[in-house]
Structure 1
Amino acid sequence: MVITSQPSTDGKVLTIQVQGRFDFAAHQHFRDAYEKASISPSRYVVDLAETTYLDSSALGMLLLLRDYAGGETAKISVINSNADVRKILSISNFEQLFDVR
């Protein structure tokens, strides 16, 4: 599991990439990716292109990011999910809380 974050050049967007398993072992790394960012973005993008697995603790981590980013007014996109990950997000109704693409 590797988690990286990359701010946009204008500092308005923070992209967090999750590689490998997105589970409880990723908790502190995922949290650090947005809490220790050098910018205060207005939007977040969670890129799951290289995520092979996602469990309920990962769903909880996404909710923590949402709270950190402003709750109901947070602008968070979850992108590039594979079919299995997208199915979990859909079953969990996360499409109502996040912009899932």
Structure 2
Amino acid sequence: MSIESEVSQDGKTLTITIRGRFDFGSHQTFRDTYEHFYKKPEVYVVDLKDTTYMDSSALGMLLLLRDYAGGERAQVQVINSNNDVRKILAISNFDKLFDIS
């Protein structure tokens, strides 16, 4: 598991890339990727292209990110999920909370 973050040149978008398993063991590292910026980005992008597994604690972490980013007003995008991860997101109705593509 590895989690990396990258801020866009204009500082408005934070992209968080998750590789491998996205589970409870990722909790603190995931939070660290978005909580330690001097200015909150306007858009958060979670790239799951290389995510092989996601459990219920990962869903909870996405909800914590959404709350941190502004709740219902937050712009959080979940991109590049594989079929298995997309099924988990769909079953959990996360498509109603996040922009999933």
Aligned to 1:28: 28
- TM-aligned CA deviation for residue 37 of structure 1: 3.1
Matched to 1:22, the amino acid is: F
For residues 18-50 of structure 1, give each alpha carbon's deviation from its aligned partner in whole angstroms, at most 9, with x where no partner exists. Answer: 000000000000000000135420000000000
Alignment coverage as a number of residue pairs: 101
Counterpart secondary structure, 1:47: strand
Equivalent pair of 1:45/1:78 in contact (CA under 8 Å): yes
For residues 38-71 of structure 1, give each alpha carbon's deviation from its aligned partner in whole angstroms, at most 9, with x where no partner exists. Answer: 5420000000000000000000000000000000
Matched to 1:48, the amino acid is: L
Equivalent pair of 1:7/1:39 in contact (CA under 8 Å): no
Q: Does 1:90 align with 2:87?
A: no
- TM-aligned CA deviation for residue 73 of structure 1: 0.3
Q: How many Å separate the matches in 2 of 1:17 and 1:9? A: 17
TM-score (norm: length of structure 2): 0.98
What is the root-mean-square deviation of aligned Cα atoms in Å? Answer: 0.8
Q: How many Å separate the matches in 2 of 1:49 and 1:38? A: 27
Equivalent residue runs for 1:30-69 within 5 Å: 30-69=30-69
Runs of 4+ in 1 over 2 A off after TM superposition: none
Equivalent residue runs for 1:69-80 within 5 Å: 69-80=69-80
Aligned to 2:3: 3
Aligned to 2:19: 19
Percent sequence identity is 67
Counterpart secondary structure, 1:11: coil
Equivalent pair of 1:2/1:19 in contact (CA under 8 Å): yes
Equivalent pair of 1:16/1:47 in contact (CA under 8 Å): yes
